Amino acid sequence: MSNLTRFSAALVLALPAAGQLRLETRAQVIVQVPRAVDRTGVEASLERGGWRVLEELPALGLLLVEVPLTQGLASAIARLSATPGVAFAEANGSGEGGEIVPNDTHFGVQWPLDNRGQGGGRAGADIEALRAWSLARGSAAVTVAVLDSGLTPAHPEFAGRVLPGIDFVNEDADPFDDQGHGTFVSGILAANADNAFGLAGVDHACALLPVKVLNQFNGGTVFDLTQGLVFAADAGAHVVNMSLINYPQTTALESALEYARNAGCVLVACAGNGGIGDADRSYPGRSPLTISVGATTDRDLRAVFSGTGNSLDLVAPGERVPATLRALTDGWTAFSGCSAATPIVSGMAAVLLSVDPTLTHDEIKQRLEAGAEDGVGSAADTPGRDNHYGHGRANLFRSLCLLDTGGPSIVAPAVLRLESPGPGGLSADDPAVIAALKSILAVDDLDPAPRLQVVSPGPLPLGKLVALAVTALDACGHATQRTLEIIAEDRG
């Protein structure tokens, strides 16, 4: 049943003295009935009292109950809480997508990925995506659930990568984006790359699982979000993106977050768009179960709307970020808000998981925070963690390098044995010497093309071992040194 249908069924017409038509809706309450309790008996008791069960979420033992018109919300919660078999009762609150309405449609380059100072930005105020992509570009084995307004599945930017999703707003299996917010978010996170079309996502290889929890007006309910979290967890999502703000902190929603975390999901959420202190107000971002993401500008300054507070973990580009249009056209729009910053971090988490699928939520969080660039913003970006920038501005390249704890391996025998055609040995530029040096390999777990430095051994006298200094360096700056030996031996 859709939100629209659910609300329409409860509409009552009231005609005030002024003669203007006003629509009133019945309140809704979320109650939990533990598995050990006779749920059928509880539901029968509720119906006898005039309550109506609209929906249920068995995985968490939750029921969505409609309040009779004769009762206020507070008294209804009190009565339901006192009902035998009910563990708790709380209002079905609402939230909204964390969007600042975009108004600049001419921002033509993806500065969050590669900021060269275009558009008046500051060079380097980005996540170093180009360097990072030389190490990893994601994997189809990693699934990212986007809990939002849905997406346009036929869009070329998502072709071949969208998994069967769900719509908890309209209660069907078609999470079509009728608002645009979800497509913006999904494009920033995971738009196809190298397809001569549109934009490139942070992770352009992951599988996308669209879960519609926001309606066409960019609003959603606690119950729909709890359903979305449980669905994403049960579907095997590795990362869950929540570009959502201003949901109330409820027992049901916290239970759903715990459910997803216990299932192994990495949870990434908005830090809020209300500025100072909002990271400690806006939910689900303020939950310690999530990675809370604030927003920065193309000059590495905190976006004026970006939420601050103790709950903030890190920041990412989030003002005038180029985003995928809902229309199936080769275009983009500038998108602002923590909703734009959050998918950048979710995409980063997915890339990290493509390198090491065993990483947990806490391990991903630690590497994102440790890899963030600190002290690059305003004076409020003080050394170490602060309430304005968290641990710093996200950097995909640096976070990836934290997965590569050692230098490359040098693959070669301890002694390189060469045949000398005569008693004079071999010169340093002899083809046999050059071929032997080229046979030395460097192999790295992360960098597909580590560099190899070999100091020329000079002339090789016949029968004498000569030390050979070899150094292998990867893109992250890790080095391995090894001393080999090389000898020219009599062919006979």
Mean pLDDT score, 399-416: 92
Residue with tokens 């002290």: 375
Residue 98: predicted pLDDT? 66
Name the pairing type of β-strands 332-335 and 451-454: unpaired
- Give tens-digit pLDDT for 127-159: 999 899 889 999 999 999 999 999 988 899 999
C-alpha R_g of the chain? 29
Q: Is residue 11 predicted with pLDDT exceeding 50?
A: no
Under a CB-based contact definition with an 8 Å cutoff, are residues 244 and 95 in contact? yes
Mean pLDDT score, 429-452: 88
Mean pLDDT score, 149-171: 94
Q: Is residue 103 predicted with pLDDT exceeding 60?
A: no
Name the pairing type of β-strands 244-245 and 94-97: antiparallel
Q: Is residue 14 predicted with pLDDT exceeding 60?
A: no
pLDDT band at 8, cuts 50/70/90?
Answer: very low
pLDDT band at 48, cuts 50/70/90?
Answer: confident
Q: Is residue 10 predicted with pLDDT exceeding 70?
A: no
Rounded to the nearest integer, the mean pLDDT of the chain is 88
Count H helices and E strands in the chain, helices first.
Answer: 11, 24
Is 265 or 477 the better-scoring residue by pLDDT? 265
| Helix (H/G/I), strand (E/B), else coil: 22 | strand
Under a CB-based contact definition with an 8 Å cutoff, are residues 360 and 93 in contact? no
Using a pLDDT cut of 70, give the percent of the chain over it. Answer: 92
What does each C-alpha distance from 324 to 96, 137, 182, 201, 473 come to in angstroms? 20, 19, 10, 9, 38
pLDDT band at 89, cuts 50/70/90?
Answer: very high
Q: What angle do CA 196, 200, 205 make, to 5 degrees?
A: 100
Using a pLDDT cut of 90, give the percent of the chain over it. Answer: 65
Q: Is residue 107 predicted with pLDDT exceeding 70?
A: no
Residue 99: predicted pLDDT? 56
| Helix (H/G/I), strand (E/B), else coil: 194 | coil
Residue 105: predicted pLDDT? 35
Q: Is residue 414 predicted with pLDDT exceeding 80?
A: yes
Under a CB-based contact definition with an 8 Å cutoff, are residues 319 and 298 in contact? yes
Residue 260: predicted pLDDT? 98
Residue 152: predicted pLDDT? 87
Element of type H or E holding 31: strand 28-32
Q: Is residue 101 predicted with pLDDT exceeding 80?
A: no
- Give tens-digit pLDDT for 267-298: 999 999 999 999 999 999 999 999 999 999 99
pLDDT band at 417, cuts 50/70/90?
Answer: very high
From edge to edge, which strands make up the β-sheet containing 62-66? 52-57, 62-66, 28-32, 88-91
Catalytic sites, residue numbers:
148, 181, 339
Residue 109: predicted pLDDT? 67
Mean pLDDT score, 313-337: 93
Residue 24: predicted pLDDT? 42
Residue 168: predicted pLDDT? 98
Domains in the chain, CATH or no CATH each: 3-92 (3.30.70.80), 97-401 (3.40.50.200), 409-490 (2.60.40.10)
Residue 195: predicted pLDDT? 86
